[in-house]
Chain A
Amino acid sequence: MSVTSHEMQHDDHHGKPYGITRWLFTTNHKDIGTLYLWFSFLMFLIGGTMALVIRTELFQPGLQFVDPHFFNQMTTMHGLIMVFGAVMPAFVGLANWQIPMMLGAQDMAFPRLNNWSFWILPFAFLTLLSTLFMEGGAPAFGWTFYAPLSSTFGPPSTDFFILSVHMMGISSILGAINIIATILNLRAPGMTLMKMPLFVWSWFITAFLLIAAMPVLAGAVTMLLTDRHFGTSFFDAAGGGDPVMFQHVFWFFGHPEVYIMILPAFGIVSEIIPAFARKKIFGRTSMIIAIASIAGLSFIVWAHHMFAVGMPVAGELFFMYTTMLIAIPTGVKVFNWVSTIWRGSLTFEPPMLFALAFVVLFTIGGFSGLMLAIVPADFQYHDTYFVVAHFHYVLVPGAVFGIMSGVYYWLPKWTGNMYSMKLANWHFWLSVIGVNLTFFPMHFTGLAGMPRRIPDYALQFADFNMLSSIGAFMFGFSQLLFLVLLVRTIRGGAKATDTVWEGAHGLEWTISSPPPYHSFTTPPQVK
């Protein structure tokens, strides 16, 4: 064997592999992060298309475009895909790219496991999406799959749905284990836990939430499966079970889940606001304590999703007060963001625009959440469009804007290229106007009593629904600008500097843009 070929082999081993196998077999945290982000963007577009089917049907009162059963399949699949396919994988993608770089680590703690946790996902979602083409249609019982809608009355495709939820759960749990191990064992010398960037902190806590909550979801779908096929009666009153218990088990997972979808966004925004206000984050320690308190409280508030099932007064009061308690740590966070902005030298680059919109619009979603926490008021709001407005405000301009601001912040670092500010500004303004036009009127229709998950509505809601539909198309199509921007930035553009942003601090900005395939092969010393 000649020296040259030996050297080439050597290079192959350490360099970047090429072609499809690079992506199939990769154990590199940056490659896997990229895979996660593209996957979640694809799911975002698929789930968004379903949302537009819903909004098309609701453009006018009456039944025009789709039949009600298909409408129900769309609301169900839209929810499942956005929650498990778009928002969660996007955060895991950001974690994969950023956590090793922010901690000065070479890679994640378990690189092969990392490959596996990603590659489970496409199969999980192929399984889920394939139910649309099955006899009896896709699951149509809402993303919350309440029994007996999903047990006795679920279509045959429910079993495929159960399998796909199991796969998503395994993927999330493996990802969470990997992230915790990376954070605890791979920090650069001198990087104490309290010195960790807030994005890493938010993911550290989120990973524990995933480990505590996802297995309960797996338990719920397993009970559903045995109820459907193996003669158990977990949720069947005739056999001694109770359908209300399904809701308890589901929401015991479901409430921590909503914080799984927002805490990493808190972390991202806590990185970006100080960078563009050119100040240190106000109240760093209180930010960490607030995230931890929100995570802890998330396990004792679940029944506020089910005030209307007929709980005893003592139970309703308990869950009402604990829910309201969450407003305190959340208020601390909002206060700290605003205080960081206060008297800062602000500039309004795209990541900052998205982060500021996040703070304002997430807070609106938080306030409507407080309204929903009030038991007597909730009896009126339950299952109306007010609830739809609430959770879309915390998830779209909340979680999704958080993800987008993170992408705009780190994209020049990842690609080495600066994106077009003009295109990014267009994307931001169309998105922020579209999102408000879509979801703000839903507060009014909901308070006036328009029920959710119904393909038709009373005539008095027609104008607001038309506005919502226009806003939805505006928001949906403006995401194509984001796609164009991403592709153009990856292909080329003005070279980004290593620091990229004037006020950015942290280890990821000390390495080149784009970073080497294996960054921090020797750990940096953190002072």
Chain B
Amino acid sequence: MSEAPKDSQHLRVANRRLATRLTLATVAMFAFGFALVPLYDVFCDITGLNGKTGRIETSEVRADRVDTSRIINVEFVANLNGDLPFRFEPGIHKIQVHPGETRRIHYVAENLTDQTIVAQAVPSVAPTVASRYFNKTECFCFSQQTLAAGERREMPAVFVIDPDLPAGVTTMTLSYTFFAAPGSDPVALAAIPDNHR
């Protein structure tokens, strides 16, 4: 940085220019705070951190790549977030699959209240190192599920494990957590009598 400016006219210009730059830096950092949101998602998608699973189109599945020499245990877990008044469980708790093989499973959800509830299932796969090899072609978690009062619904999920799965992985766990969709009033949900939960 050069010598401090001497006369007052120059000083005024220099001060104003510096203040403008620093204000722009402030605005840029405010924007960066928001940019962290997509950056974080992209980072997790690329690395498979945070248990985020992959999604592929049915046409991308290649039947010729089934690796019959390996058997992977896939376990299914169901969770409810907070006080969501659902009954929610996997149709089958554990299956064995070959990498590359397309399998169809289902979960069962039941709305225990006398009002319609919109909910969203969020998947997660453990171990996280394997999560990006776990690809789904069809899943009830791709969209929100609207369950009418007392409705019971079988919901399918179709998945295929990428044959490039690291050799050490023999067991994977797929977990779904059902959340009340944003906008559904948690206070109203909490007001549902205990015997309905």
Taking Cβ atoms with an 8 Å cutoff, the residues of A that contact B are 109-110, 152, 173, 176-177, 180-181, 184-189, 191, 193, 211-220, 223, 231, 233-234, 236-239, 242, 244-245, 248-249, 252-253, 311-312, 315
Contacts and interface: CB of A to CB of B under 8 A. Distances in A.
A233 B33 contact: no
A239 B128 CA distance: 22
29 contacts: A177-B18, A177-B19, A181-B18, A184-B4, A185-B18, A186-B4, A187-B4, A189-B4, A189-B6, A211-B29, A212-B25, A213-B29, A216-B33, A220-B33, A223-B34, A236-B179, A237-B120, A237-B122, A237-B179, A238-B119, A238-B179, A238-B181, A239-B182, A244-B50, A245-B37, A245-B40, A312-B49, A312-B129, A315-B49
Given A215-B27, A216-B33, A189 B179 contact: no
Given A219-B33, A238-B122, A245-B40, A110 B15 contact: yes
Interface string B120-148: 10100000110000000000000000000
B11 interface: yes
Contacts of A191: 4
B7 interface: no
Contacts of A315: 49
B15 A180 contact: no
Contacts of B6: 189
Nearest to A177: B22
Given A211-B22, A238-B181, 11 more contacts: A152-B186, A181-B18, A184-B18, A185-B14, A186-B4, A211-B25, A215-B26, A242-B40, A312-B49, A312-B128, A315-B49
Interface of B: 1, 3-6, 11, 14-15, 18-19, 22-23, 25-27, 29-30, 32-34, 36-37, 40, 47, 49-50, 81, 119-120, 122, 128-129, 177, 179-183, 186
The 3 A-B residue pairs with the shortest CB-CB distance in the complex, in nearest-first order? A219-B33, A238-B179, A215-B29
Given A218-B30, A237-B179, A315-B49, A181 B36 contact: no
A173 B37 contact: no
A249 B182 CA distance: 21
A220 B47 CA distance: 24
Contacts of A152: 186
A242 B25 CA distance: 27
A248 B26 contact: no
B3 A189 contact: yes
A344 B27 CA distance: 47
A406 B182 CA distance: 51
Contacts of A239: 120, 181-182
A185 B5 contact: yes
A152 B190 CA distance: 12
A211 B25 CA distance: 7
A211 B181 contact: no
B88 to A, nearest CB: 14
A213 B30 CA distance: 9
Given A184-B1, A185-B11, A211-B22, A238 B33 contact: no
Interface centre among B27, B50, B179, B183 (most CB of A within 10 A): B50
Contacts of B3: 189
A185 B15 contact: yes
B180 to A, nearest CB: 6
B109 to A, nearest CB: 14
Contacts of A185: 4-5, 11, 14-15, 18
A248 B40 contact: yes
Nearest to A220: B33
A237 B81 contact: yes
A197 to B, nearest CB: 16
Contacts of A173: 26
A506 B23 CA distance: 31
B46 to A, nearest CB: 13
Nearest to A232: B182
A109 B36 contact: no
B26 A211 contact: yes
A217 B3 CA distance: 35
A432 B128 CA distance: 48
A215 B40 contact: no
A189 B81 CA distance: 65
Given A110-B15, A242-B50, A245-B40, A231 B183 contact: yes
B23 A177 contact: yes
Contacts of B14: 184-185
Given A185-B15, A245-B40, A231 B27 contact: no
Given A237-B179, A312-B49, A212 B33 contact: no
Contact of A238 (B4, B11, B32, B81): B81
Contacts of B50: 242, 244
A235 B15 CA distance: 40
A128 B179 CA distance: 32
A239 B33 CA distance: 19
B180 A238 contact: yes
A110 B1 CA distance: 20
A212 B40 CA distance: 19
Contacts of A212: 25, 29
